[in-house]
Amino acid sequence: MQTQTPSAASSSPEPYLKIRGVTKRFDKFTALQAIDLDIYPGEFVSFLGPSGCGKTTLLRAISGLDVQSEGTISQGGKDISTLPVNQRDFGIVFQSYALFPNLRIKDNVAYGLVSAGRSRSEISTRVTELLALVGLSDQAMKFPAQLSGGQQQRIALARALALSPGLLLLDEPLSALDARVRARLRGEIRDLQQRLGITTIMVTHDQEEALTMSDRIVVMSRGRIEQVGTPDEVYSRPASPFVADFVGRMNFLDGRLVAPNQANCKGVDLTFAGEMTYAAETQVTVCVRPEDIVVRNINGANTNVFDADVGVMEFVGNHFATTLHINGTNLNVAADLSMNDVRDLGVKPGGTIKALLPADRLRVFATPGAAAQ
């Protein structure tokens, strides 16, 4: 299993949320398989994965909306596994905002406070404070439909925070917004979370969202955790081909092991950092990110340097997505060449260049079924 280290954001070693052996079955289908996970106080953790991977199911188990079939969940040292929703301690924000359309913004934010029996003046102070927190103080008297999507989502956030819950759950909070608003709100939510120091879990299928906002990312696939790590770890050192494929773009080069630190892919010998504990001839997949491929200042390096024909060049805005054919082989590699590279080196389709696949940037995975020695 993964070793889970508390991230920089937390100071206490004791997890706030402990998930142990959580399994969820719907009739014959197993949506979650024995999930173990610790989340530390003040952390921002994202559950990332394609639809159907179990990320929402796990969030619903944590909130008590759809309780797990097996396993335990404890929050702040208290076992909450069997508690109904309204006896748990969390605030939740949905993709659809779920603002009450017939109530004014101030009444939406005050909704939980009124039932908690706070005094009128206390409620009004708290509402003012919360609206200021999300930067919408001047919208108190409006109805939700009069606000933009981004504003509505900030109100939903303020409402969720009203009772100062110990845990904030965000269920695809930005998916309904357009790209520009989404990018801005990303920063705002993260900033707010850090100021309040509230432990937060966000479910998302958008890797960019997870990478920019989280302290740690939990990558999930088919009801299992594939990897838990900081955004940098998940991006640079994916623990499995699935993670490598799902987060960012990746070249997958099929080959076989010829030495503990070398693989042969379609006649090209690639040297990589570290050693594989598999027998020679084991089928492996070598992964390299298109943006890690180097085409300039290759001075003197001689490992993993190849002459390549330039194939299709697709202009993507800030770079060219380029296909390189390694000379003398039929190995194709996708490389992202910066505008500068292309201009300075005069790269064009049909030309030739030198390309370096840095050894410390290669990730190698044994093809499933291969046995470790």
Residues near another protein (CB under 8 A) are 21, 23, 28, 30, 33, 63-65, 67-72, 81-88, 90-92, 94, 96-98, 100-103, 111-112, 114-116, 143-146, 159-160, 162-163, 165
Cβ-based nearer residue to another protein, 9 or 32 = 32
CB of 243: closest distance to another protein in angstroms? Answer: 24
Asked if 268 and 306 touch (Cβ cutoff 8 Å), the reply is yes
Q: In 3D, which of 92, 19, 17, 50 has the Cα closest to residue 204?
A: 50
Cβ-based nearer residue to another protein, 166 or 248 = 166
**Neighbour-count burial of 326, counting CB atoms closer than 10 A to its CB (0-12 exposed, 13-18 middle, 19+ buried):** buried
CB of 43: closest distance to another protein in angstroms? Answer: 20
Cβ-based nearer residue to another protein, 81 or 264 = 81
Asked if 199 and 42 touch (Cβ cutoff 8 Å), the reply is yes
Strand partners, 257: 263
Cβ-based nearer residue to another protein, 143 or 345 = 143
CB of 207: closest distance to another protein in angstroms? Answer: 25
Cβ-based nearer residue to another protein, 64 or 255 = 64
CB of 256: closest distance to another protein in angstroms? Answer: 32
Centre a 10 Å sphere on the Cβ of residue 233 and count the other Cβ atoms it contains.
16
Cβ-based nearer residue to another protein, 90 or 242 = 90
Q: In 3D, which of 38, 42, 40 has the Cα closest to residue 13?
A: 40
Cβ-based nearer residue to another protein, 63 or 153 = 63
Rounded to an integer, what is the distance from CA 226 to the centroid of its chain?
A: 12
Cβ-based nearer residue to another protein, 69 or 261 = 69
Tracing tokens 């404070």 back to the chain, one arrives at: 129
Cβ-based nearer residue to another protein, 65 or 133 = 65
Measured CA to CA, the distance from residue 190 to residue 212 in angstroms comes to: 9
